[in-house]
Amino acid sequence: MTNSLRTPYDGIVMAAPVTIPYARYSIESAQWWIGRALSAVVAKAGIKASDIDGLCVSSFTMGNDSGIGLTQHFGLCVRWLDTIPLGGASAIAALRKAARAVQAHDADIVACVAGDTNHVDSFRLTLENFSRFNQDAVYPYGAGGANASFALIARNYMRTFGVTREDVGRIAVAQRANALRNPHALMKTPLTIEQYLAARPISDPIHLFDCVMPCAGAEAFLVMRDETATSLGLPAARLLSTIERHNAFADDSMQLRGGWAMDIGELYAMAGVKPDDLDIVQTYDDYPVITMMQFEDLGFCAKGEGAAFVRQHDLTIEGDFPHNTSGGQLSAGQAGAAGAYLGLVEGLRQVLGEAGPTQVKNAKLGLAAGFGMINYDRGLASGAAIFAGPAR
């Protein structure tokens, strides 16, 4: 195992994970959703808003605002501020930065929050204006957002490793089963593998149940030192390790692996745990094939064995490999940048033992991953964090 030279996150904890229940469409602004999440995180932690001295926000739909404008909007006076536009990697990136900030005493309590609204036209407008390479070299091809781009990645991955739609479908079906226990999940009807296979094609081989449902929502949590959590009487999860990587493997002509594969040794070395030790895993599931890739790149199986792995494991809450326990983005909904937070926030609830209907018994050690920004032909950003509940 690799040795990590990085400064350990000794005494850095996360607390008060909150989710503002998602809505398919909302006439409210992103600022409204972010405001609800801040209000909820303050209430849950039993602190005053003025106790927050660090803020980190992510959103696709807050217009020309960034973190600075939000401080005035929400009446916050902070001494540490960041705005993270990293799509599906935003939560891991926010956590990493906030952790170092509180470790260095640059801030005491950092609120990490992501929220997006979804007006009837928001999603299309986000697609149209996503990034420059996307505008130049993807949008004019009718890709219509991520679907066609991920279809190309999925097709190449599935052909290379002999993966069938049924293999990929197991992930989506298991997550739907989990979602049925999450009262806030947007998807409320069971999904069978037959229904999955019979779904209408969107962009071959991507079919309807491979796609997330864009929606409005917000997620948040607090990052602080453990003595702060103790003095507030807050249950908190310890941060053990993180990784983050951008534009990895640029010479791969198509994406068969994400940046995790570059940093996985360090992820486990810094945490001092093995993949087998994890009680719950929350991957970034913008498409189930990307989740399958993460099972490989995060070390649960070898490259090319993701399909066999999902065949051999039960990915539901009661299963031997509890995964995306809230239903994930595929079944709970993708609330823009909050989609990056969904796995981490649910993972924190799990290790804190407060996940309620989706609680995995004795969950103590969790992993959450992020992936994002398909700027052109591949997802550029990847990240992951390992954290432990107070029971461990």
Partner 1 sequence: MLQRCEACGAFAYPAREACPACLSAGLAFVDAPRRGALLAETTARVPSDVYFRERAPWRIGLVKMDCGPTMVAHLHADCVEGAPVVMSFQLDKSGQAVAFARPEGETPNMADDRQWREMTADPKFRRVLVTNGRSVIGQEAVAALKAAGAKTVFVGVAEPWRPFAGEQLLRGQQGIEVVTLDASDEKSTADLAADIGGKVDILVNTTEYVRPGGLLDRRGTSIARDEIDQAYLGFINLAQAFGPAMRMRGADGVSSSAAWVNILSVHALANWPAFGAYSASQAACLSLSHCLRAELRPGGVKLLNLFTGPVDTEWFQTVPPPKVAPRAVAQAIVSGLKGGLEEMYVGDVAEEIRQRLAVNPKALERELDR
- Name beta bridge partners: 225: 12
* Spatial separation of the C-alpha atoms in residues 124 and 237, rounded to whole Å: 37
Nearest distance in Å: CB 216, partner 1: 18
Nearest distance in Å: CB 240, partner 1: 35
Q: Which of residues 181-200 bind partner 1 (CB under 8 A)?
A: 200
Nearest distance in Å: CB 205, partner 1: 8
Query: Which pairing describes strands 54-58 and 109-116: parallel, antiparallel, or unpaired?
Result: parallel
Is 133 near partner 1 (CB under 8 A)? yes
DSSP output for 269-308: HHHT--GGG-SEEE---SSHHHHHHHHHHTTSS-TT-HHH
HSE of 345, CA atoms in CB hemisphere, 13 A: 32
- Binding residue for partner 1 (CB under 8 A) from 49, 148, 197, 269? 148
- Binding residue for partner 1 (CB under 8 A) from 145, 327, 336, 379? 145
**Tokens standing for 235?**
């249950």
**Tokens standing for 361?**
């018994």
Is 376 near partner 1 (CB under 8 A)? yes
Length of the chain: 392
- Count CB neighbours of 370 within 10 A: 32
Stretch 151-170: interaction string toward partner 1, x if CB under 8 A: xxx-xx--x-----------
Instruction: Give the residue among 340, 360, 385 at the shortest CA–CA distance from 88.
Output: 340
- Binding residue for partner 1 (CB under 8 A) from 203, 283, 316, 324? 203
Q: Which of residues 254-283 bind partner 1 (CB under 8 A)?
A: 254
Q: Which stretch binds partner 1 (CB under 8 A): 92-100, 130-138, 187-195, 271-279?
A: 130-138
Is 120 near partner 1 (CB under 8 A)? no
Element containing residue 18 per DSSP (H, E): strand 12-23
- Binding residue for partner 1 (CB under 8 A) from 54, 88, 169, 205? 205
Q: Which of residues 37-96 bind partner 1 (CB under 8 A)?
A: none
* Spatial separation of the C-alpha atoms in residues 213 and 332, rounded to whole Å: 8
Stretch 231-250: interaction string toward partner 1, x if CB under 8 A: -------------------x
- Binding residue for partner 1 (CB under 8 A) from 141, 276, 320, 361? 141
DSSP output for 317-377: TTSSS-BSTT-HHHHH-B-TTHHHHHHHHHHHHHHTT--GGGPPTT--EEEEEEEEEE-SS
Is 24 near partner 1 (CB under 8 A)? no
- Binding residue for partner 1 (CB under 8 A) from 119, 377, 390, 392? 377
Q: Which stretch binds partner 1 (CB under 8 A): 24-32, 105-113, 203-211, 232-240?
A: 203-211
Cβ–Cβ under 8 Å, residues 382 and 259: yes
Q: Which one-letter DSSP state was computed for residue 256?
A: S
Is 354 near partner 1 (CB under 8 A)? no
- Binding residue for partner 1 (CB under 8 A) from 25, 32, 139, 249? 139
Instruction: Name the residue nearer to partner 1 (CB basis): 4 or 147.
Output: 147
Instruction: Give the residue among 370, 360, 358 at the shortest CA–CA distance from 180.
Output: 358
Residues that bind partner 1 (CB under 8 A): 123-124, 127, 132-133, 136-145, 147-149, 151-153, 155-156, 159, 200-206, 250, 253-254, 376-377
